[in-house]
Amino acid sequence: MTATDYSRILPGLPDPDTDPQFYDRVPSRRLAAWCIDFVIVLLLTLPVTLVFGILTLGFGFVAFPLLLASIGYIYRVVTLSGRSATLGQRIMGIEFRRHDGTRFDLVTALLHSAVYTASIAMLPVQLASCIAILATRYGQGIGDILLRTTAINSPAD
């Protein structure tokens, strides 16, 4: 695709050629933000798992992966629909934008979180998404490509 093709598909996003400051170091910041978010979700999930495990006489500990995915999904939806960035992304100075340049609304946050949760559950898809972030013009993962979104450095509003 040419730059003109992208401008029709993603009309509201800054162009990486004319506004490279919006995409500078975003892939490494996304990785750091992912690590921060994982720790936050883990810290939220552990007490829930502990209580659930004790209440079910130990059987609930088996549900840890499901609880981790569920709490992670809720965390992403709440944080993405609020300011278009998870807490880790805010710390790293990045945020998501839709194809028209606007921040995520609740529906976009729900969809983006669902695609992310599904892709994180399948290692080959997650690896392909990481490669896509490094290889695509706008630094988009598979979920971003499907939903026409991307991560950018947070502009000074």
Domain ranges for the chain, please list them: 19-153
pLDDT of residue 10: 77
pLDDT of residue 28: 96
Alpha helices in 10-63 (DSSP H): 26-55
For tokens 């695709």, the residue is 1
Averages of pLDDT over runs of 10 residues in the chain (157 residues) are 60 90 95 98 96 91 95 98 95 96 96 95 94 95 95 84
pTM given for the model: 0.89
pLDDT of residue 60: 86
23/1 Cα distance (integer angstroms): 19
In 26-148, at which residue ranges do the beta strands (DSSP E only) sit?
A: 94-98
Selection from 8, 20, 2 nearest residue 148 by Cα: 8
pLDDT of residue 91: 97
Would the CA dihedral through 5, 116, 25, 84 be positive or negative?
positive
